[in-house]
């Protein structure tokens, strides 16, 4: 695609900006992290076609945006491998860029999704019915990412929190703010609502 190079350049720009931010908050950092959600926001904010035209609340556009981003990420991963500059780990939860280590590259397991996303025909040929099936199984969770950030903020947890941390934090806050123990009912309701949102995303 004509726009693929620009998409990859924008992803690299986003990762470089993440590196600046994360290096400012940590004394020593060996890897930088981002999420699919954050990268998509950057692509839309920078008006990169076709992301500037996608409506992520429509299932077909959401799938197209997701697929094209993953295609570009795997292309960038291959570029980093060939240039021996970085290692790019791509998961549904986070995107991690770390320094290139030949031994680490040799130990990297085969990613079955890689072949799927590198085959650009899926971008053009996936039917509306197939898209809806994919969204029902997983990608509807993407739409909840903004809610996820707000829910984690209510629980005073970082964006990359594991579910066990969320459960632990919820129990502590629920005990502290339970109305039967003299807590604030409004705060207790907010804590429960946040936990309910996170349950839908993580479970």
Query: For strand 31-34 and strand 95-99, is the pairing parallel, antiparallel, or unpaired?
Result: antiparallel
Query: 175 near 181, Cβ under 8 Å?
Result: yes
CATH topology for the 145-202 domain: Helix Hairpins (1.10.287)
Task: Give the pLDDT score at 40.
Answer: 92
Instruction: Report the alpha-carbon angle 54-58-62, nearest 5.
Output: 60
Q: Given this model, what pLDDT does residue 21 score?
A: 80
Provide the CA 59 distance to its chain's centre, in angstroms: 17
| 203 residues of the chain, pLDDT tens digit each | 578 999 999 999 999 998 888 765 544 446 888 988 899 999 999 999 999 999 887 888 888 998 999 999 999 999 999 999 999 988 877 899 988 887 665 555 567 788 888 999 988 888 878 877 776 665 555 555 667 778 888 898 887 888 899 999 999 998 888 878 888 877 888 888 888 888 877 76
For the chain, give every domain's residue range.
4-137, 145-202
- Three-state DSSP class for residue 84: coil
C-alpha to C-alpha distance for 10 and 41, rounded to whole angstroms: 11
């Amino acid at each position: 695609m004509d726009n693929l190079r620009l998409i990859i350049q924008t992803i690299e720009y986003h990762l470089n900006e993440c590196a600046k931010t994360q290096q400012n908050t940590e004394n020593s950092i060996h890897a930088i992290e981002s999420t699919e959600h954050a990268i998509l926001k950057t692509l839309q904010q920078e008006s990169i076609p076709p992301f500037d035209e996608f409506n992520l609340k429509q299932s077909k556009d959401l799938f197209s945006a997701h697929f094209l981003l993953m295609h570009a990420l795997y292309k960038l991963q291959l570029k980093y491998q060939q240039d021996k500059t970085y290692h790019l780990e791509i998961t549904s939860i986070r995107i991690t860029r770390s320094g290139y280590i030949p031994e680490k590259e040799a130990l990297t397991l085969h990613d079955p999704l890689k072949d799927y996303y590198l085959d650009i025909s899926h971008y053009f040929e996936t039917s509306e019915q197939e898209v809806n099936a994919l969204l029902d199984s997983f990608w509807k969770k993407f739409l909840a990412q903004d809610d996820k950030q707000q829910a984690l903020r209510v629980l005073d947890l970082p964006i990359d929190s594991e579910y066990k941390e969320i459960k632990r934090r919820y129990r502590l806050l629920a005990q502290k703010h339970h109305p039967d123990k003299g807590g604030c009912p409004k705060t207790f309701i907010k804590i429960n609502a946040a936990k309910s949102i996170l349950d839908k995303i993580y479970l």
